[in-house]
Amino acid sequence: MDTAFTEEQDGIRRTVRDVLARRCTPEDVRAAVLAPQGYDTALWHTLAHELGLPGLALPEAYGGTGCGTLELALAAEEAGRALLPSPLLPTAVLAAPLLHALGTRGQRDRLLPALARGELTATLAVPAGTLTSALGLTGTGDGDVTGNGTGPAPWTGISGGRHGRGTQEGGFGATGLAATGFGAGGRGADGSGGSWAGGGRAGGIQARPADGGWRLYGEVGQVLCGHTAGLLLVAAHTGGFARSRTVLFLVTADAPGLTRIRQTALDETRPVARLELRDVPAEPLGPPEDDAGPVLAAVGPGVAAVLAAEAVGAADGALRRTVAYVGVRHQFGRPIGSFQAVRHRLADVYVRVEAARSAAYYAAWAAGTEAAARAETAAPLSSTLPASPGDGPAVPEGRVNGVDRVNPAEGRANGAGPGEARVDGPLALAQALEALRSAAAETVQLHGGVGFTWEHPAHLAFKRAAGDTLLFGPAHLLRARAAARAGLFAPRTRRASERRDGEAVAV
């Protein structure tokens, strides 16, 4: 398989890089984050109306360009290189695929063309700290942070109990845990029940039918661009315990009862907001009887691949700035870049960044190939999910880091088996987050005293690395979830001497 970029893909990457090099310098970034919107609206107009980035991966029937996940990842890589503050991630990467997958024909016709043109921005609202769990990238089940409600949620320190009750070493009891929105109600490994969405107890967003429609009540925080998005895709719990499910609802920015407050963020280039909903009228995204958990989890690998590419771009930008600096900074009468210790440290970062770039490209290609296969067979997104978390296909040997678009049959023949993107996406994101953290740390260290100053852009990359780890990581949980999907740690059977009552017991 040809691993070279096509002319179209090279053109996308080159065009975005040229525009951002001129209009998204570190000085422009610092000015943009201080704006009420948290980004440069004029630059966003250029990226959306002239370059068509929000509709890059949308079908032409809805005003998009008909490209795929790989092309969107290439654009995100250049956005990450410039540390671009914009609604591109929440609109094109999170909201658009869900609207296309879950929306009715009328909803798609009404909303997707506006998203593709950049006239409407959107975002996904889930309880703070649960985005990767909702997307099936971490946790013990696809789209479910607590799986069946009885297992541990290791990243929170919360251990589950019967019906999802749990305690936390920090002092949360059953009531305190429920108030966080991570408590009860997880019902299935396929993401049904959606304990990350509130689980039927206090916390998260609750939905109830009223007056022939739906009303939402609750609060969520750390919603990307939540204070400016014209459309909110709100994950809400409904159905009680008997029919516990998570449904996505459409909420407009001017809906009565909605309060949006911009929050202080560690990474100012990713503006976040807290949403307060008090009996807010909402429209279900698709049939309200269906659980959105499996579709969220099916979208997750593509999201992870684009996030990985963006992190790679940020790491590469930090590395390039550091290499340029050590070439002009003199100490002891020579450039500090000539010292072997400095060379070795930068070489290590370079290897990590290039390895992460290869993983991100492959994950984006695999996600795009899988999406093409679904489109060819008219299969729903959730059809790619295995029946249980541990029966996903293992990563095949002899894979090619393909970056060119191919037809589904060719993709499978060259190593992108069905469901493989569900393993590659989280692994690529984990590797990219670690590469970005390493590059940002060396950037600050090798810039010396100037690297600690507010005026220097080194802190922007460092905050992006720390903020992305909090929002989309940590890396070890991404890898643990991928390992579970690949079946690397399947339960073993006790030896005969360990069996109780002569029966095999899995441990």
Is a pLDDT exceeding 70 seen at residue 501? no
d(CA 268, CA 435): 20
Residue 128 binned pLDDT confidence (cut-offs 50, 70, 90): confident
Instruction: Report the chain's terminal Cα–Cα distance, integer Å.
Output: 42
The pLDDT score that the predictor gives to residue 204 is 81
Which is higher by pLDDT, 400 or 421?
A: 421
Range with lowest mean pLDDT among 118-127, 143-152, 222-231, 233-242? 143-152
Is a pLDDT exceeding 50 seen at residue 347? yes
Residue 416 binned pLDDT confidence (cut-offs 50, 70, 90): low
3-state secondary structure of 278: strand
d(CA 430, CA 436): 10
Answer for the pair 356, 348: CB distance below 8 angstroms, yes or no.
no
Span 442-461, pLDDT tens digits: 999 999 888 888 888 899 99
Q: Where are the beta strands (DSSP E) in 130-288?
A: 152-153, 158-160, 166-168, 205-210, 213-224, 231-238, 245-252, 258-263, 272-284
Cβ partners under 8 Å of residue 10, min gap 6: none
Report the chain's C-alpha Rg in angstroms. Answer: 23
Helix (H) or strand (E) holding 506: none
Is a pLDDT exceeding 90 seen at residue 97? yes
Please give the mean pLDDT across all residues of the chain: 80
d(CA 67, CA 89): 16
Span 311-334, pLDDT tens digits: 999 999 999 999 999 999 988 989
DSSP string, 453-489: STTSTHHHHHHHHHHHHHHH--HHHHHHHHHHHHTTT
Structure tokens at 128: 């703070």
The pLDDT score that the predictor gives to residue 497 is 55
Q: Phi and psi for 153 in degrees, rounded to 5?
A: -110, 90
Instruction: Provide the β-strand partners of residue 430.
Output: none
CA atoms within 13 A on the CB side of 61: 4
Range with lowest mean pLDDT among 109-118, 191-200, 268-277, 451-460? 191-200
Span 228-250, pLDDT tens digits: 999 999 999 988 777 788 999 99
The pLDDT score that the predictor gives to residue 198 is 58
The pLDDT score that the predictor gives to residue 377 is 61
